[in-house]
């Protein structure tokens, strides 16, 4: 459904080189990406600032022309066939608005119905679903300029879906939203993805979005794909380990060793010790520990995706 | 188009303030031109009599908000901020969607801003009324073509932002140039004939205001009257074609600003 082959986008930057002279420098925002996305997939597309995420999305939607390589969505080449493609995709740019600033939200939706030539009955059905799931009714008559960011984002999502797109591109849809609005957006997207009708490509800096929504994670850095697979595969690849945190009555002896686990931290004068579990189960580790020490409390901490991703970005 | 109308209809106070300004400047322009007429040979500067001049001024003041030659920077602003990306995601070419919105704006201008200055002019000055039946349909057609021509010019001026990022320079030049060369400050017929002809043929600017006004006041013979409208039509088509070419060219080199 979505195919990218050796996709590149170079930008020319003019740099000051003397009083009047300026030299041109080419910067590769996207540097040879190969990626195929199948129908119904929910793909998280992440990377540090400037990695090329938004640029890729803009090439997929036909806003930017690639410098080289191939890109196709539904078999269409985005830039030359942009207007045909627009009928089949939905796009939300978290930092931009596709709604009309001066018009009430409901009026924007009516206008979109005409622009996309959606039959009234279909439009009404989709709008009703969005109104129910995203609680739009209370601000449907409010001009877009007076909406809060959370309300506007709910409006943007609806606007992107009213023509029944088969692919939804979301560029940081939860940026700047409060916890409640984020949850509303995530639940809505999760429900949308679960129906299997829509393919979802999501860029974000909030990894909770990815954990909640995406079964495939593509990490890019400096315009190249550095990981493509599930979140579990990312943990396995970068050796993320579960941790066992124990509170002890007495500190452990200095030469203490727990098979299959490594001490990674010690606090409160040795009364709280953190072990990284190297392949051993939490149960085995706990059993080994209670045999030699008096354990007051313990917890098992799952690996944190943010740590893994931070390590991945720093390695780049 | 309806949305363009609705967007402008939102700002009622601006509509009232705009009409008031048009009327104040109408008085200024009218008295200046009548003073010129009083000193001209046979009281007919540029071939207009006093009634024609007053009509030229007051209908011109009304038409200002219809053709809307000034003040539209939306496209340039959206290019500068990168919001143009949202326009490109629609299944309609930007030239078409902006034109539709502009026709809505022009309709709003016609219904709310045109009549005010004309009625005030009628109250305070003797205005000319057309004698030929074809003048009315020709005037309506000419105003429609002026709206299209004005949109084409403004789209091109705004589109310079694709290359310059900031179109304030071209916009200032446009504001200055269009006011003078569209016949707003004074009828272009006051200029030497060779210059008038050159301006009419070589630039679309007289077609934005002067042509519909000349048609209405019947400044010329029926044949020349129709010929000027035909010239306006040629320019309108040419400008819209040029706008779509420039837009396509710009899309190939577009850089969306701000992530």
Q: Tens of pLDDT along B108-123?
A: 889 888 888 989 989 9
The verdict on A192 and A260 lying in the same domain is no
User: What pLDDT score does A312 carry?
Assistant: 75
Q: Show residues of chain A in contact with B85, CB under 8 Å.
A: 58, 63, 93, 96
The verdict on A190 and A48 lying in the same domain is yes
pLDDT, average across residues B171-200: 91
The verdict on A230 and A248 lying in the same domain is no
Q: Which residues of chain A have pLDDT under 50?
A: none
Q: Which residue of A has its CA nearest to B248?
A: A80
Q: Tens of pLDDT along B79-133?
A: 988 888 888 899 999 999 999 999 999 998 898 888 889 899 899 988 888 889 9
The verdict on A268 and A195 lying in the same domain is no
Q: Does A83 touch chain B (CB under 8 A)?
A: yes
User: What pLDDT score does A135 carry?
Assistant: 87
Among candidate residues A159, A163, A203, the one with its CA nearest the CA of residue A53: A203
- CATH (domain of A209): 3.40.50.300
The verdict on A258 and A176 lying in the same domain is no
Cβ-nearest to B91 among A96, A103, A116: A116
Cα B48 to Cα B67: distance, rounded to the nearest angstrom: 23
Instruction: Report chain B's mean pLDDT, rounded to a whole number.
Output: 88
Question: Are β-strands A89-93 and A68-73 bridged in parallel, bridged antiparallel, or unpaired?
Answer: unpaired
Q: Where is B116: in which H helix or E strand?
A: helix B115-124
Q: What percent of chain B has pLDDT over 90?
A: 45
Q: Which residue of A has its CA nearest to B10?
A: A102
The verdict on A194 and A80 lying in the same domain is yes
- Cβ of A96 within 8 Å of Cβ of B6? The answer is no
- Cβ of A97 within 8 Å of Cβ of B83? The answer is yes
Q: Is the pLDDT of residue B220 over 80?
A: yes
Cα B254 to Cα A46: distance, rounded to the nearest angstrom: 24
User: What pLDDT score does A316 carry?
Assistant: 62
Cα B25 to Cα A164: distance, rounded to the nearest angstrom: 51
- Cβ of A102 within 8 Å of Cβ of B256? The answer is no
User: What pLDDT score does A122 carry?
Assistant: 92
The verdict on A211 and A124 lying in the same domain is yes
The domain boundary, picked from A196, A215, A237, lies at: A237
Cβ-nearest to B85 among A58, A65, A116: A58
pLDDT band at B258 (very low <50, low <70, confident <90, very high): low
8 A C-beta contact, residue B165 and residue B172: no
The verdict on A119 and A267 lying in the same domain is no
- Cβ of A93 within 8 Å of Cβ of B6? The answer is no
Q: Which residue of B has its CA nearest to A13?
A: B255
The verdict on A83 and A37 lying in the same domain is yes
Cα B153 to Cα B141: distance, rounded to the nearest angstrom: 18
Q: What is the signed CA dihedral for B85, B87, B88, B94, rounded to 10 degrees? A: -140
The verdict on A123 and A206 lying in the same domain is yes
Domains held by chain A: number: 2
The domain boundary, picked from A216, A237, A258, lies at: A237
Q: Is the pLDDT of residue B4 over 90?
A: no
| Chain B interface test: which of A51, A96, A142, A152 (most B C-beta within 10 Å) | A96
Give the distance from residue A212's alpha carbon to the nearest chain B alpha carbon, in angstroms: 25
Q: Tens of pLDDT along A276-295?
A: 888 788 888 888 888 888 88
The verdict on A198 and A286 lying in the same domain is no
Q: Is the pLDDT of residue B259 over 60?
A: no
- Cβ of A86 within 8 Å of Cβ of B259? The answer is no
The domain boundary, picked from A178, A206, A237, lies at: A237
Residue A301: domain span: 243-315
Residue A21 in tokens? 């002279």
Q: Tens of pLDDT along B140-159?
A: 999 999 999 999 999 999 99
Q: Show residues of chain A in contact with B250, CB under 8 Å.
A: none
The verdict on A142 and A38 lying in the same domain is yes
């Amino acid at each position: 459904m979505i195919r990218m082959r050796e996709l590149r986008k170079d930008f020319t930057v003019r740099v000051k080189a003397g009083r009047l002279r300026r030299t041109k420098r080419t910067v590769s925002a996207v540097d040879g990406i190969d990626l195929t996305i199948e129908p119904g997939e929910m793909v998280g597309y992440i990377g540090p600032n400037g990695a090329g995420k938004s640029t890729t999305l803009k090439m997929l939607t036909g806003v930017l022309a690639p410098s080289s390589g191939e890109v196709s969505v539904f078999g269409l080449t985005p830039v030359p066939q942009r207007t045909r493609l627009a009928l089949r995709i939905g796009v939300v740019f978290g930092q931009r608005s596709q709604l009309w600033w001066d018009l009430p939200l409901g009026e924007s939706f009516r206008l979109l119905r005409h622009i996309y030539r959606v039959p009234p009955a279909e439009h009404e059905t989709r709008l009703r679903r969005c109104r129910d799931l995203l609680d739009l009714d209370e601000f449907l008559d409010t001009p877009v300029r007076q909406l809060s960011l959370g309300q506007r984002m709910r409006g943007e999502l609806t606007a992107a879906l009213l023509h029944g797109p088969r692919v939804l591109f979301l560029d940081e849809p939860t940026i700047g939203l409060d916890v409640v609005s984020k949850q509303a957006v995530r639940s809505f997207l999760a429900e949308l993805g679960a129906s299997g009708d829509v393919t979802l490509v999501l860029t974000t800096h909030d990894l909770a979005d990815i954990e909640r929504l995406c079964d495939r994670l593509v990490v890019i850095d400096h315009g190249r794909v550095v990981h493509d697979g599930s979140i579990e595969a990312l943990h396995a690849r970068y050796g993320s380990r579960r941790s066992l945190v124990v509170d002890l009555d007495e500190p452990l002896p200095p030469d203490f060793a727990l098979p299959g686990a490594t001490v990674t931290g010690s606090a409160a004068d040795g009364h709280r010790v953190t072990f990284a579990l190297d392949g051993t189960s939490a149960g085995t580790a706990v059993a080994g520990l209670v045999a030699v020490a008096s354990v007051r409390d313990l917890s098992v901490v799952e690996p944190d995706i943010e740590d893994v991703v931070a390590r991945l970005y720093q390695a780049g | 188009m309806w949305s363009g109308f609705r967007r402008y209809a939102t700002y009622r106070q601006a509509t009232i303030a705009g009409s008031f300004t048009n009327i104040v400047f109408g008085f200024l322009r009218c008295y200046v031109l009548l003073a010129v007429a009083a000193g001209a040979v046979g009281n007919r500067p540029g071939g207009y009599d006093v009634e024609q001049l007053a009509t030229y001024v007051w209908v011109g003041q009304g038409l200002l908000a219809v053709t809307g030659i000034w003040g539209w920077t939306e496209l340039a602003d959206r290019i500068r901020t990168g919001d143009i990306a949202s326009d490109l995601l629609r299944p309609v070419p930007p030239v078409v969607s902006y034109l539709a919105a502009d026709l809505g704006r022009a309709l709003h201008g016609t219904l709310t801003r045109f009549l005010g200055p004309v009625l005030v002019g009628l109250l305070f000055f003797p205005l000319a009324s057309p004698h030929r039946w074809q003048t009315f349909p020709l005037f309506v057609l000419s105003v429609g073509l002026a709206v299209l021509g004005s949109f084409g010019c403004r789209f091109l001026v705004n589109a310079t932002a694709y290359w310059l990022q900031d179109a304030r320079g071209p916009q200032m030049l446009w504001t200055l140039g269009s006011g003078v060369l569209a016949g707003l400050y004074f009828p272009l017929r006051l200029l030497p004939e060779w210059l008038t002809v050159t301006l009419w043929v070589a630039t679309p600017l007289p077609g934005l205001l002067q042509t519909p006004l000349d048609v209405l006041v019947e400044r010329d013979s029926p044949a020349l009257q129709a010929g000027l409208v035909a010239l306006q039509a040629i320019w309108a088509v040419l400008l819209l074609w040029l706008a779509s070419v420039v837009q396509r060219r710009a899309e190939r080199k577009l850089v969306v600003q701000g992530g």
